[in-house]
Copies of this chain bind each other. A is one copy, B any other.
Amino acid sequence: MTEEDKQTEEKIFESATEVFVEKGMDGARMQDIANRAGINKSLLHYYYRTKDHLFNAVFEMIAGQMFKKFAPVLDENLPLEEKIRFFFREHIAFMQKNPRLPSFILNELHRNPERIRKLIQNIDINKLWTTIEAQHKEELKRYNITKENIPQFMTTVAGMSVFPFVARPVIASIMEKMGYDFDNYLEERKEYAADFVINALKKQEASNKM
């Protein structure tokens, strides 16, 4: 299917996604979306009624995409160490293809925290923890990961993956001045992050034994 053949509604949705992700809800302009879609402004309202509706459609699609990327980590039947490597490889690869998504999502959640609360309402966190515990009982004990400190651990892992994209302007500028390449940095990060986390866990393990 070529660009020309795309149905109008689909084309609008794609253009809207581009503009909203780039500029955010407040910075996005309906005119800009219409121009990119190659149609008239009023058609936007015909299909999506208001800017708010259009934004919500886009946001829900993107947030869904993002959360889906976390799911396989729980399903895969791998040792914890391999899961960590798998996560960084896949998650960073996804964001390399969609580098603006993390900032966009986190930012819009600041503007409207209710949105995330509703999403999380539907998740059974206790069940999630039970699943993890069942899959990795011994490893969790060995590495001293408990239900109490799992937020610390999870946010550490997530942060190592996401932070480079959120702070990209800063990091890229510094690296440019050092003569290094940001894309190369991202590529290396998949392994560096996994090694770093696993090292921290293993040292923890060594301390436990004493």
Contacts and interface: CB of A to CB of B under 8 A. Distances in A.
A23 interface: yes
Q: Is the interface of A mostly helix, strand, loop or mixed?
A: helix
Interface residues of A, number: 59
A100 B174 CA distance: 23
Given A120-B177, A177-B125, A199 B188 contact: no
Interface stretch (A75-83, A89-97, A109-117, A133-141): A109-117
Interface stretch (A6-14, A32-40, A48-56, A158-166): A158-166
A1 interface: no
B169 A163 contact: no
Contacts of A86: none
A200 interface: yes
Nearest to A170: B116
Contacts of A207: 199
A155 interface: yes
Nearest to A123: B177
Given A27-B111, A180-B151, A166 B166 contact: yes
A65 interface: no
B203 A199 contact: yes
Contacts of A202: 203
A32 to B, nearest CB: 13
Nearest to A148: B180
B117 A173 contact: yes
Given A199-B199, A200-B197, A200-B200, A192 B149 contact: yes
A162 B164 CA distance: 11
Interface of A: 23-24, 26-27, 100, 103, 106-107, 109-111, 113, 116-117, 120-121, 123, 125, 148-149, 151-152, 155-156, 158-160, 162-164, 166-178, 180, 185, 188-189, 192-193, 196-197, 199-204, 206-207
